[in-house]
A and B are shown apart, each in its own frame.
Chain A
Amino acid sequence: QQQVKQSPQSLIVQKGGISIINCAYENTAFDYFPWYQQFPGKGPALLIAIRPDVSEKKEGRFTISFNKSAKQFSLHIMDSQPGDSATYFCAASRLSNAGNMLTFGGGTRLMVKP
């Protein structure tokens, strides 16, 4: 059962454009939604995360939009740069005192053309 669905699988954006990646989840118990960025040959690294008590979180050029009723969240990258070219993973978890086990989406390979 794929609990987190991510789209698109790949995305090409011109430098300066807006990159948008979407995710949908099924488990209403999820209460933590991070995005991870992965460069070739490296492990994923946390980019930005949101809890369901807010509808939007912005950090620099990166913004998460969250729609609890639709069980969807998205990553927006403003003024996209060639250095943003990487694979992006959305994820979700149910936080507990036992830890933070993430369920990941399938990933989006982003290419930003100069």
Chain B
Amino acid sequence: GAGVSQSPSNKVTEKGKDVELRCDPISGHTALYWYRQSLGQGLEFLIYFQGNSAPDKSGLPSDRFSAERTGGSVSTLTIQRTQQEDSAVYLCASSGPDRVSPLHFGNGTRLTVT
């Protein structure tokens, strides 16, 4: 079946502009996660959605970052007034309802802020 789909795959934007990154999770997956991967670094947790529960936003680095998940499916990560330090690969993952359901990652959106 289809995996997690992210768009765009690459995004170049000017400092100060807003950007929206999209994630289409695997159908039927109830949980959706956003992570950020800076060059040569590990994965930094950003935000987590589970079903209809309130999202866990504890990883968002500043109030310029926000995310929503519509209809329990597609998610959009928005970064307002982008800064150069926002340049990274933004990864989305989804997982099924089982407690040990593995995270399935998309290929990410590479964001470059100039």
Given contacts A32-B100, A42-B107, A46-B103, contact A101 B45 (CB under 8 A): yes
Q: Judge whether B56 is part of the interface by a CB distance below 8 angstroms.
A: yes
Known contacts A32-B100, A41-B107, A43-B106, A100 near B43 by CB under 8 Å: no
- The total of chain B residues at the interface (CB under 8 A) is 27
Residue from B91, B103, B105, B106 whose CB has the most chain A CB atoms within 10 Å = B103
Instruction: Report the Cα distance A51→B105, complex, angstroms.
Output: 21
Q: Hey, which chain B residues are within 8 Å of A49, CB to CB? A: 100, 102
Do A99 and B31 touch (CB < 8 A)?
Answer: yes
Chain B residue with the shortest CB-CB distance to A45: B105
Task: Work out how many contacts link A and B, with CB atoms closer than 8 A.
Answer: 64
| CB-CB nearest in chain A for B102 | A46
Count A-side interface residues using an 8 Å CB cutoff.
Answer: 27
Interface residues of B in 31-64 (CB under 8 A from A): 31, 33, 35, 40-45, 48, 50, 53, 56
Choose one: B56, B91, B103; the contact of A100 (CB below 8 Å).
B103
Interface string of A24-62 (1 = CB under 8 A from B): 000000001010100001111110010100000000000
Could you list some 17 contacts between A and B, CB below 8 A?
A42-B107, A43-B93, A43-B106, A44-B91, A44-B105, A45-B104, A45-B105, A46-B102, A46-B104, A49-B102, A95-B100, A99-B95, A100-B95, A101-B45, A102-B33, A102-B45, A105-B42
Give B contacts to A, CB under 8 Å.
4, 31, 33, 35, 40-45, 48, 50, 53, 56, 91, 93, 95, 99-108
